Amino acid sequence: MPDALAAEPPPLSQDDTLFARILDPANRANPYPLLARLREKPVRRQQDGSYVVSTHAAIRSLLFDPRLSSEDLPPFRRPPTGNPLKDWLLNPIKDRIATAHRPLIFRDPPDHDSLRHLVMEQFTVKRVRGTHDRVAAVVDTLIERCRGRDRVCLVEDLSYPLPVAVICELLGVPEQDESQFQSWATQLSTALEPDARRDADTRRANVASFDAIADYMRALIREKRRKPADDMLSGLANHADPTTRKMSDFDLVSTAILLLVAGHETTVNLITNGMLTLLRHPHELERLRADPERAPRVIEELLRYEPPVHFRTRKALGDIAVAGETIPKGASVMLVLAAASRDPERFPNPDIFDPDRADIQHFGFGAGLHYCVGAPLARIEVEIALVRLCQRLIRPRLAQDPPSYRPGAALRGPAGLEITIDGIV
Ligand code: HEM
């Protein structure tokens, strides 16, 4: 059967070329001038019939528009293995199940809302606030490990290991399995990139990671039913409220995977982008070091100025008129959240990093129905990490600027961040 996802893309028009340049890894270090050009035409039709939306006003109206569906993910389809039993029988069944039980970020109401409600019952304020001391302890341990060195790689030494340790503990994943989770999370987060949906090798690697993590989760859920503990997975797996629908086991697995993947790369990127921005603005670093109360302002401005999520895709369920264009029913729509957060119509001097600006209504965590469920947790992790780094690293300087970036354009962040230091307090 021909694979539509692997089809050659049509030749590029001028508008396509602009978005293609944004996707091009060569422009990853500073895509903002290209995003500014994108905003000159708030809604652009691309040659393949998809639309790119880039201004704050247009994106805001679309994020709250029920005619824009999040069920834009193509049906799950495993690449052929050469084994007829798998290719004709087992894998099509698995694919149908995976497609029907996509994680809630790719679901619309009413399914989205009931799944999200069940997650929020577990993601309580108490539980999230309760992570504070543990996050601080992990951050301190990771910084302590750098003692005696004059150079650290922020990604490897801190940003990367921290979020996975925190979400594994919240979910109830044993500590010894964390490193395995890191590699699954890294691989699966590429599924948000448009190129990854076309590239057969990436899809094959994603399927392998998905199958491995799903097997792991099924076993862990069985264990949580046998021996419940005070963690989110135990709570979801042993849901006892007869007045609300409980999550099916398929949804339970996809939700657990989503919580791991959605919260990993994004938090890594915010910590890393945060330190990179502070090192480029030493005055702000110094102010944060001297006055940690500034952290919430700094973090909100970072989410506007250097957001980890640059765009998300949707699908139009009807014709939608926006910013003088009509997006037709069925079209795929790219919401370039990062362009909206630098829109001069909304934010004065948007290219200046200014934690004291009066209005920071960014789209760093999205908006509307799919607003990030992990935002409070991410804020705690990033606040503790940035404040501790500013206070404990002596004379930190960037060893390389700009750093190298990972290939992803939707989830954008440095691959590494080398920092020279004079020691650790
Ligand atoms: C700095 C870190 C983070 C950033 C920048 C971020 C960003 C986002 C954004 C932009 C969305 C909206 C997606 C859309 O509209 O399609 C989102 C949704 C989501 N995020 Fe986060 N996120 C972060 C951390 C986390 C964490 C720590 C978790 C969980 C542990 C998490 C779980 C989720 C989930 C489950 C959704 C889907 C919500 C829904 O569809 O209703 N995120 N996030």
- CB contact set of 282 (below 8 Å; sequence gap of 6+): none
Q: Write the pLDDT tens digit of every residue in 191-220.
A: 666 666 666 777 777 777 888 888 999 999
Residues with CB under 6 A from ligand 1: 70, 104-105, 116, 167, 258-259, 262-263, 266-267, 270, 308-309, 312, 364-366, 370, 372-374, 377-378
Distance 103 CA to ligand 1 centre (A): 12
CA angle, residues 161, 164, 165, in degrees to nearest 5: 80
User: What per-residue confidence (pLDDT) applies to 12?
Assistant: 54
* E-state strands within 108-251: 151-153
Window from 60-69, 73-82, 298-307, 380-389 with minimum mean pLDDT: 73-82
Average pLDDT over residues 400-406: 94
Spatial contact of 221 and 233, defined as CB atoms under 8 Å apart: yes
- Nearest-CA residue for atom 6 of ligand 1: 365
- Nearest-CA residue for atom 41 of ligand 1: 370
- Nearest-CA residue for atom 19 of ligand 1: 372
The closest alpha carbon to 25, from 404, 420, 425, 416, belongs to: 404
The closest alpha carbon to 182, from 261, 81, 121, belongs to: 261
- What is the best residue among 71, 102, 266 to mutate for testing ligand 1's pocket, by most ligand atoms within 8 Å of CB? 266
Beta bridge partners of 45: 51
The whole-angstrom separation of Cα 93 and Cα 74 is 16
Q: Which atom of ligand 1 is nearest to the CA of 307?
A: 5
The whole-angstrom separation of Cα 195 and Cα 345 is 31
Distance 325 CA to ligand 1 centre (A): 29
- What is the best residue among 105, 372, 379, 383 to mutate for testing ligand 1's pocket, by most ligand atoms within 8 Å of CB? 372
Q: Which atom of ligand 1 is nearest to the CA of 63?
A: 15
Window from 3-17, 351-365, 371-385 with minimum mean pLDDT: 3-17
Dihedral angle, C-alpha 362, 47, 411, 180, nearest 10 °: 150
Q: Which atom of ligand 1 is nearest to the CA of 367?
A: 15
Q: What are phi and psi of 30, to 5 degrees?
A: -145, 85
- CB contact set of 187 (below 8 Å; sequence gap of 6+): 205, 206, 209
Average pLDDT over residues 319-337: 96
pLDDT bucket at 15, cuts 50 / 70 / 90: low
Distance 424 CA to ligand 1 centre (A): 33
pLDDT bucket at 100, cuts 50 / 70 / 90: confident
Q: Which atom of ligand 1 is nearest to the CA of 112?
A: 41
Domain chopping of the chain, boundaries = 4-97+108-424
The whole-angstrom separation of Cα 203 and Cα 319 is 31
Spatial contact of 328 and 319, defined as CB atoms under 8 Å apart: yes
Distance 376 CA to ligand 1 centre (A): 10
Distance 96 CA to ligand 1 centre (A): 25
- Nearest-CA residue for atom 18 of ligand 1: 372
What percent of the chain lies above the pLDDT cut of 90?
71
CA angle, residues 35, 37, 39, in degrees to nearest 5: 70
Q: Is the pTM of this model over 0.85?
A: yes
- Nearest-CA residue for atom 2 of ligand 1: 267
- Nearest-CA residue for atom 27 of ligand 1: 263
Radius of gyration of the chain, Cα coordinates, nearest whole angstrom? 22
Spatial contact of 304 and 339, defined as CB atoms under 8 Å apart: no
- Tell me the CATH number for domain 4-97+108-424: 1.10.630.10
Cβ neighbours around 25 below 10 Å, total:
13
Spatial contact of 297 and 387, defined as CB atoms under 8 Å apart: no
